[in-house]
Amino acid sequence: MKNFTLTLVFTPILLLASSDGYEVYKKNCSTCHIETISKNEFVKNISTMKAPPMIEVSNQLKNQIMIKNDDEDVHKKVVVLFIKNYIDNPNLEYSLCNPPAIERFGVMPSKKGKLNDEEKEAVAEWIYDRYEGVQFK
């Protein structure tokens, strides 16, 4: 019974502490990175786009960031770390974006100080998980 009470007391606190990645995306990223679109539609509407679609960003990072042992948990951690770092320090040198896209959109402006660590973690994990098995094509 005691345990039960503890769970009841602590659950709301845990819920408060973890940010919702999708909400973070909508608030901070969606004005530039559209959530999902086909390649065809993207090319047709490129004049209205401010950045690569998030589906492409996710696919690209997952394909280009490789780790030695094929462990999915480790891979996710590395991709998430890359995204968290990129939010604060976007940089031509680190960008895995293809050159024509960079030429078209420029380098992403830094969001340093705008998101706390939890929000960065949540949005980075969302970017990884949202497009599991979904290809930009």
Smallest separation (angstroms) from ligand HEC to the CB of 12:
26
Residue 94 φ/ψ region, left for φ over 0, alpha for ψ in the -120 to 50 degree band, beta for the rest: alpha
d(CA 88, CA 110): 5
Burial class (CB within 10 angstroms; exposed 0-12, middle 13-18, buried 19+) of 16 = exposed
Tokens 């030429």 belong to 103
Q: Which is nearer to ligand HEC, 81 or 90 (CB)?
A: 90
Residues between 67 and 126 that touch ligand HEC (CB under 6 A) = 83, 86-87, 90, 95-97, 101-102, 105-109, 111, 123
Smallest separation (angstroms) from ligand HEC to the CB of 56:
9
Would you tell me which residues interact with ligand HEC (CB under 6 A)? Answer: 28-29, 31-33, 50-52, 57, 60-61, 83, 86-87, 90, 95-97, 101-102, 105-109, 111, 123
